[in-house]
Amino acid sequence: MEVLDHPERLRIMPAMKKYLPELKERAVRLLLVAREDVGGAHGASSRIGQQLGIPADTLRKWLLRADIDTGARPGTTTEDAARLLELERENRELRRANAILRSASAFFAAELDRP
C-alpha cells in the first residue's frame, strides 16, 4: 500500500508539453512556406517537426487552427471560441445567481406570511 501514501506517484499521464507562442508562429510560417513549395503539408510537417523537435500531428493541428483563424477553412476561430467560453461561464453564473435570488425571495415571502 505504499503507492497510496504518495499521491504524486499516481500520475497517469505526463503533463502536456507547452510550446512558446513564438515557436508555434515560426513552425506555422515554415509549414505555410513548405506547403506552397511542395503542395502538401504532410511530408513537410514530418520534416519540420523533426527539425524543431515537435510531433508532426501537433504541427498539423497548429496549421489547421491557423487556416481556420485566417478564414482559409471553415470553422470556429480561436477568438470566437474564447468568447463563447466566456459567455457560457457568465451564463452559468447568472443562472446560479437567479436560483439564489429565487430561493431567497421564497424564503422571505414565507416569513412575511407568518402571523
pLDDT in tens, 34-84: 888 765 666 788 888 899 999 989 999 999 999 999 999 999 999 999 999
**Are 45 and 55 spatial neighbours (Cβ–Cβ below 8 Å)?**
no
Q: What is the span of the domain harbouring residue 101?
A: 76-115
What pTM does this model have?
Answer: 0.65
Residue 86 has pLDDT above 50, yes or no: yes
**Are 45 and 62 spatial neighbours (Cβ–Cβ below 8 Å)?**
no
d(CA 67, CA 70): 5
| Whether residue 27 is found in the same domain as residue 67 | yes
HSE of 35, CA atoms in CB hemisphere, 13 A: 14
Residue 13 pLDDT: 56
**Are 39 and 32 spatial neighbours (Cβ–Cβ below 8 Å)?**
no
| Whether residue 114 is found in the same domain as residue 71 | no
